[in-house]
């Protein structure tokens, strides 16, 4: 009998891409867990092969009741990823407590546990972007989403779980199957729509003198690379810990916008707009993953360049659905 996998957030962005990658390697004995709600997230599941689907609340009860058996690995990507979510109690339960419960269940039942942390745990980056265990307790996230992820990282570290499980600190991931994410879509997706509608892209102005408008930087990661890292740790179960998932090279928002224009065969037309007051104190001006720990863990596959990732995303996916 083939291995059985659980993918929480399986209709979401990274989760549905994990299901697609498992299918590509011949695995379809998959339990997809998600909250389909009333939006069009369900479309991410169309064309994918999986054994069963379960609503997240039913799944949580099933885990608590000990009714799941025969699971080889859990890819726990399910979470509220809205950096603007203000309900701290909801985030603490949904992003921290649920992860804790599923982690403990996985360890009791011999299932590999791979979960999504976030680059948002690094806050404004003043303390750097090291994923070393000694650094983790010093981090200061800027929003409750980042803190909810940090809460679990800290719990896993304090309780010595990180030598048995894998946490992945995803930086700015973009790529196919993110259409349903509304305002949390990548700027690649938003820019493509803006260019089609108006011929221009709007980026935030800078409010720090050391950064010119559009030259705030991020570590942009193509979703296929993020998924490859997930599958690497499924295949290499002797390696555990908390790892950054980024290219290790930061790029500007201007670089990203120009890559979208180039992929669409158009000349750049970039405008700058005011940043909402509510975001200015929580805005990250610089992110760049330190990837030495990931490389030392044996992951040696090169990451896709921003230009190549954007070109593939635009030409092979976005342009085919518009």
- Active-site residue, from 43, 181, 190, 293: 181
Element containing residue 313 per DSSP (H, E): helix 306-316
Task: Tell me the C-alpha to C-alpha distance, in Å, between residue 192 and each of 218, 260, 266.
Answer: 18, 7, 11
- Active-site residue, from 129, 145, 232, 313: 145
Single out the residue of 85, 140, 151, 87 nearest to residue 115, CA to CA. Answer: 151
Element containing residue 15 per DSSP (H, E): helix 13-24
Q: Three-state DSSP class for 223?
A: helix
- φ, ψ for residue 9, nearest 5 deg: 65, 30
202 is catalytic: no
Question: What end-to-end distance do the CA atoms of the chain give, in Å?
Answer: 41
| d(C-alpha 218, C-alpha 216), whole Å | 7
90 is catalytic: no
Active site members: 145, 181
């Amino acid at each position: 009998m083939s291995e059985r996998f659980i993918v929480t957030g399986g209709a979401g962005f990274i989760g549905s891409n994990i299901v697609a990658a498992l299918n590509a390697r011949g695995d379809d004995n998959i339990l997809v867990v998600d909250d389909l709600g009333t939006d069009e997230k369900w479309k991410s599941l169309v064309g994918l092969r999986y054994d069963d689907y379960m609503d997240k609340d039913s799944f949580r009860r099933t885990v608590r009741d000990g009714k799941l058996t025969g699971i080889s690995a859990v890819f726990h990507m399910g979470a509220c990823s809205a950096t603007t979510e203000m309900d701290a109690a909801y985030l603490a339960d949904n992003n921290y407590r649920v992860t804790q419960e599923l982690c403990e269940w996985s360890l009791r039942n011999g299932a590999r546990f791979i979960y999504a942390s976030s680059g948002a745990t690094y806050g404004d980056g003043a303390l750097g972007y090291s994923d070393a265990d000694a650094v983790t307790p010093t981090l200061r996230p800027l929003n409750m989403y980042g803190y909810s992820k940090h809460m679990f990282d800290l719990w896993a570290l304090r309780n010595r779980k990180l030598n048995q499980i894998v946490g992945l600190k995803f930086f700015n991931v973009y790529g196919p199957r993110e259409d349903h994410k509304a305002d949390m879509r990548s700027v690649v997706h938003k820019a493509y729509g803006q260019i089609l509608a108006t011929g221009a892209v709007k980026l935030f102005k800078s409010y720090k003198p050391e950064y010119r408008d559009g030259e705030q930087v991020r570590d942009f990661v193509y979703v296929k690379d993020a998924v490859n890292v997930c599958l690497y740790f499924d295949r290499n179960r002797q390696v555990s810990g908390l790892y950054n998932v980024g290219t290790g090279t930061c790029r500007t928002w201007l670089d990203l916008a120009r890559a979208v224009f180039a992929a669409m065969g158009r000349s750049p037309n970039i405008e700058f707009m005011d940043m909402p007051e509510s975001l200015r104190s929580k805005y990250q001006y610089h992110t760049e993953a330190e990837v030495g720990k990931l490389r030392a863990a044996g992951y040696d596959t090169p990451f896709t360049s921003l230009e190549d990732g954007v070109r593939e995303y635009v030409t092979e996916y976005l342009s085919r659905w518009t």
